[in-house]
């Protein structure tokens, strides 16, 4: 049976009905892709910022660790027959304080409200610096 115009489903009408739906889906996917791309750019920038901050913190930690190690090494290398950094008197035995100062027994602080609660430190213990400083920086 030959094809007659108007008989049966028309390909053009089916295509016209499908086309708007296809374009709607395409535009929706395009918008979602643009949103995802913007989010990706934002996350990439945020990730770079966080990596930079982590690098800065790591550098600060490395610097502080190296400084602490150097101070401890310098303060602990020879603690006999040296000068007290509190009173600047040559003494036979000094102790290493928490602030890395070498102090004689006369320069140790054992006064204050907690003096009765504090036990005297042993020969190799850390002592509190009284005369040299008020902070941990030497």
Tens digit of each residue's pLDDT (9 = 90 or more) over 120-136: 445 444 445 555 554 44
Q: What percent of the chain has pLDDT over 70?
A: 56
50 lies in some domain: yes
5 lies in some domain: no
Q: What percent of the chain has pLDDT over 90?
A: 25
Q: CA 81, CA 14: separation in Å to the nearest integer?
A: 103
82 vs 135 pLDDT, higher one: 82
Of 62, 77, 92, the residue that ends a domain is: 77
What integer pLDDT is reported at residue 20 of this predicted model? 77
Q: Do 95 and 109 fall into the same domain?
A: yes
Q: Do 67 and 114 fall into the same domain?
A: no
Q: Do 89 and 70 fall into the same domain?
A: no
Helices assigned H by DSSP within 3-84: 11-76
What integer pLDDT is reported at residue 21 of this predicted model? 79
Q: What is the mean pLDDT of residues 83-102?
A: 74
1 lies in some domain: no
Structure tokens given for 89? 């008197």
Q: 58-62, 99-103, 110-114 — which one is most confidently predicted on average?
A: 58-62
Q: Do 33 and 19 fall into the same domain?
A: yes
pLDDT tens-digit readout, 32-44: 999 999 999 999 9
* Residue 58 belongs to domain spanning: 10-77
Which of 16-20, 25-29, 53-57 has the weakest average pLDDT?
A: 16-20
Mean pLDDT score of the chain, rounded to an integer? Answer: 71
Q: Under a CB-based contact definition with an 8 Å cutoff, are residues 99 and 117 in contact?
A: no
137 lies in some domain: yes
66 lies in some domain: yes
Rg (CA), the chain: 39
Of 56, 77, 98, the residue that ends a domain is: 77
65 lies in some domain: yes
Query: DSSP class of residue 98?
Result: T
Q: Do 96 and 137 fall into the same domain?
A: yes
Q: How confident is the model at residue 74 (pLDDT cuts 50, 70, 90)?
A: confident
CB crowding 10-47: b at 16 or more within 10 Å, else e: eeeeeeeeeeeeeeeeeeeeeeeeeeeeeeeeeeeeee
What integer pLDDT is reported at residue 127 of this predicted model? 47
Q: Do 34 and 86 fall into the same domain?
A: no
Q: CA 106, CA 91: separation in Å to the nearest integer?
A: 11
How many independent structural domains does the chain possess?
2
Q: Which residue has the tokens 């502080």?
A: 64
């Amino acid at each position: 049976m030959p094809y007659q115009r108007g008989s049966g489903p028309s390909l053009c009408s089916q295509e016209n009905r499908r086309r708007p739906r296809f374009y709607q889906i395409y535009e929706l996917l395009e918008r979602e892709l643009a949103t995802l791309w913007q989010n990706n750019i934002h996350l990439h920038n945020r990730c770079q910022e966080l990596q930079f901050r982590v690098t800065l913190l790591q550098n600060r930690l490395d610097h502080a660790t190296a400084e602490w190690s150097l101070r401890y090494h310098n303060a602990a290398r020879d603690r006999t027959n040296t000068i007290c950094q509190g009173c600047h008197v040559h003494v036979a035995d000094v102790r290493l304080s928490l602030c890395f100062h070498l102090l004689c027994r006369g320069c140790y602080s054992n006064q204050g409200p907690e003096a009765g609660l504090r036990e005297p430190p042993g020969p190799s213990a850390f002592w509190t610096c009284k005369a040299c400083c008020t902070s941990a920086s030497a």
